[in-house]
Amino acid sequence: MVLAAAVVLALLLGGGVVGAALLAGGGDGEAAPPPTSAPEGGMEAAAPTTEPSDTDLVELHGDAVWKVEVAGCGEEGSGSAWAIDAHHLVTNAHVASIDSSPVVRSRGGRAQDGTVVGLSEELDLAVIEVDTAMPATLAWADTGDLAEGERVLGLGYPIPGAFAATPGSLLSFEVEGSERVAVRTDAALDAGNSGGPLLTASGEVAGLVTYLDTEGYQQVAVARTADHLGAAVDEMVAATGEVPVNCSRLEAAPPPVTEPPPIVEPEPEPEPLPEPTLPPIPTLPPTTTVPCPTGAPTVTVDAADAVQESPEYSPEWWSISVRGTVRNDTSASITVGMVDITVDGVPGTHLGFVDAFELRPGEASPFSADLYVDSASPPGGASATMNGWGWADWDFSDCGTA
């Protein structure tokens, strides 16, 4: 099959693919514990309804995913594979085609020799046979049960070659006729993930990771499903004999064309520039001193109403609503912002906010503040002063404020 507008997750770039195993435990070759039986005379416990986490999937299925190391046709590389039964692993043709006797290596580092017993360049599919039984295996998911948006997990050996778990979701399907031939996922699979499985949340293989589709804005990994590959895998598993190495896809590239270095002409020496002639500095007119304005704003408190917050539980806390007025009693416009408020008999000051920002001469603006104070007796009155003010006209920026 032509993988149009796609980049194969090439094993020769290093790394491996997503994979999973069915048996519990993370150790190499450890058998899964037998299922726990129901107590005698009692009802069998109900199966848990919570999906396993990604960590659980790695623990349950990690031993079914193997790294494939190949050497041949003048190249070396690695990819991923997953065990479909005790003596056969599924991978991509572009992973295994250069080496008919690849080495497969477990997550724990145990290596054994394999033999390629089936290979299809058209399907980009290969099956490797091994003598020593696999500690765990995986099964295809029913393609009809898959749904867009469901959680998936890739296990395998992406660059630089260590085992990795890559979570994602199932984005969409590629359909040919009535068959869902591939799934597309947003899992961040990398070079070397080729040949590994894309797992469902139940630990089944949704698809064999095969290539990256680069047509859109974002690269999307594509995994071939059981509808597309299942029958071919069954035929390859039943086959015997070694598939010979195929180096035809690695045609020698023509030698690079060596171009002569460009001739660099020496740049001419720049002619000296004439000394610049600067115009005379104009004489500025004498500055006129602007007289500073006089006066200062005044602040008055119009009301200070105290209310006991909670006479029963917090008799010492009082809420005080202070209202007042700021008046511009200067000869120029001023800017104001806040006032400092002092409550009689209560230490400290509080801030009140003036409604207007700029006041013209003789203009007034109200201010307000809602305060909370701690006092054993009812607070008395309140007073206020300006918390900074300034002249609105920049011509008076050097003039002080009283």
**Does 378 reside within a domain?**
yes
DSSP secondary structure string, 9-68? --GGGS-------SSSSSSTTPPPPPPPPPPTTSPPPPPP-SPPPHHHHHHHHGGGEEEE
**Does 109 reside within a domain?**
yes
Q: Domain check: are 217 and 352 in the same one?
A: no
Strand 75-85, strand 338-343: pairing: unpaired
Q: Which of 196, 211, 238 is the last residue of a domain?
A: 238
Beta bridge partners of 169: 151
Can you tell me the distance from the alpha carbon of 241 to that of 285, in angstroms, rounded to the nearest whole number? 105
Q: Domain check: are 234 and 328 in the same one?
A: no
- Helix and strand element counts for the chain (H, E): 3, 22
Would you write out the chain's pLDDT as a tens digit for each of its 402 residues? 334 334 444 434 443 333 332 222 333 433 333 444 434 444 444 555 688 999 999 999 999 999 999 999 889 999 999 999 999 999 999 999 999 999 999 999 999 999 999 999 999 999 999 999 999 999 999 999 999 999 999 999 998 889 999 999 999 999 999 999 999 999 999 988 999 999 999 999 999 999 988 887 778 999 999 999 999 999 999 988 899 987 776 654 444 444 566 778 888 888 888 888 888 887 777 666 778 999 999 999 999 888 888 888 888 888 889 999 999 999 999 999 899 989 888 888 888 898 988 999 999 999 998 888 888 888 878 999 998 899 998 888 888 886
Can you tell me the distance from the alpha carbon of 69 to that of 75, in angstroms, rounded to the nearest whole number? 11
**Does 275 reside within a domain?**
no
Q: Domain check: are 302 and 187 in the same one?
A: no
Domains in the chain: how many in total? 2
- Burial grade of 120 (CB within 10 A; 0-12, 13-18, 19 or more): middle
Q: Domain check: are 221 and 367 in the same one?
A: no
Q: Domain check: are 109 and 194 in the same one?
A: yes
Can you tell me the distance from the alpha carbon of 124 to that of 226, in angstroms, rounded to the nearest whole number? 14
Q: Domain check: are 218 and 97 in the same one?
A: yes
pLDDT at position 16, please?
37
**Does 43 reside within a domain?**
no
**Does 130 reside within a domain?**
yes
Q: Domain check: are 197 and 107 in the same one?
A: yes
pLDDT at position 327, please?
95
Give the strands of the sheet with 364-374, arranged side by side. 298-310, 314-327, 364-374, 350-354, 338-343, 382-386
Q: Domain check: are 223 and 349 in the same one?
A: no
Q: Which of 197, 214, 238 is the last residue of a domain?
A: 238
Q: Domain check: are 306 and 216 in the same one?
A: no
Peptide bond preceding 291 in cis form (omega within 30 of 0) = no
Q: Domain check: are 228 and 302 in the same one?
A: no
What range defines the domain where residue 119 resides? Answer: 6-27+52-238
Report whether 177 contacts 143 (CB < 8 A): no
- Nearest CA to 186 among 199, 172, 202? 172
pLDDT at position 5, please?
38
Can you tell me the distance from the alpha carbon of 388 to that of 317, in angstroms, rounded to the nearest whole number? 29
| CATH code of the domain in which 80 resides | 2.40.10.120
**Does 214 reside within a domain?**
yes
Distances 228 to 140, 170, 175, 234, 329 between C-alpha atoms, Å? 11, 17, 10, 12, 90
| CATH code of the domain in which 323 resides | 2.60.40
pTM: 0.53
Can you tell me the distance from the alpha carbon of 118 to that of 14, in angstroms, rounded to the nearest whole number? 23
**Does 292 reside within a domain?**
no
Can you tell me the distance from the alpha carbon of 23 to that of 174, in angstroms, rounded to the nearest whole number? 31
**Does 346 reside within a domain?**
yes
Q: Which of 189, 214, 238 is the last residue of a domain?
A: 238
pLDDT at position 376, please?
81
Q: Domain check: are 213 and 345 in the same one?
A: no
Q: Domain check: are 207 and 74 in the same one?
A: yes
